[in-house]
Amino acid sequence: MRRFGVFAALGLLVCSLVAVTAPSALANNDPHRVFLPAGPPFTLPVGFCSFRLHFEVVANKEYGKFTTLPDGTVILKETGKLKVRATNVRSGKSVLLSISGPGTITFYADGSVTIDGTGRWLTLNLATDSAPFGLPAVMLSSGHIHETMDPTGGLTALSVTGRATDVCAALG
């Protein structure tokens, strides 16, 4: 279940890595800046919230700059605008979330990942993983966020300096 959480949380990022090779992604004013296409809608199972939670991208104008280091580490610097709709599958209640960042995501060669962002970020972790850090599982942060996952997808650090909004509570 933990690995699913990591893949769900990074689902949009995986699609972003594909953008590097897409020719249309390079059609902008800065050849080092690529469009980051969003992934398809997805639904999180119970465990993140006490109900299934559906996400869909409603606006995407995010761009990124990728840097690959000699050891294979990939650094993604994200900017732009991204909005998603989060819906409680059971009740139908939904909220529109602006999660534009910006920030830096580092994919280390050993498989670990670090997120260092400012602005507004959406993080998706299992409730059991985020609880030791005193933060919500599905969280909209505003301010500075730092999150680190080990190569197995285990959450090893999660902190917010600013505001942390519990998306599950908002939709429950």
Residue 84 has pLDDT above 90, yes or no: yes
CA distance 123 to 149: 12
Complete DSSP assignment for 46-103: BTTBSS-EEEEEEEEEEEEEEEE-TTS-EEEEEEEEEEEEEEETTT--EEEEE--EEE
Residue-wise pLDDT for 133-162, tens only, equals 999 999 999 999 999 999 999 999 999 999
Collapsed DSSP state (helix, strand, coil) of residue 120: strand
Residue 36 has pLDDT above 80, yes or no: yes
Q: Helix-strand-coil percent breakdown of the chain, rounded to 5?
A: 20, 50, 30
Q: Label residue 9 left, alpha or beta by phi (over 0 means left) and psi (-120 to 50 means alpha).
A: alpha
Residue 23 has pLDDT above 60, yes or no: no
Q: Give pLDDT, residue 32.
A: 79
Q: Give pLDDT, residue 167.
A: 98
**Phi, psi angle pair for 125, to nearest 5°:** -135, 155
Residue-wise pLDDT for 98-120, tens only, equals 999 999 999 999 999 999 999 99
Q: Give pLDDT, residue 29.
A: 55
**Domain ranges (residues) in the chain:** 2-171
- On average, the pLDDT of the chain sits at 86
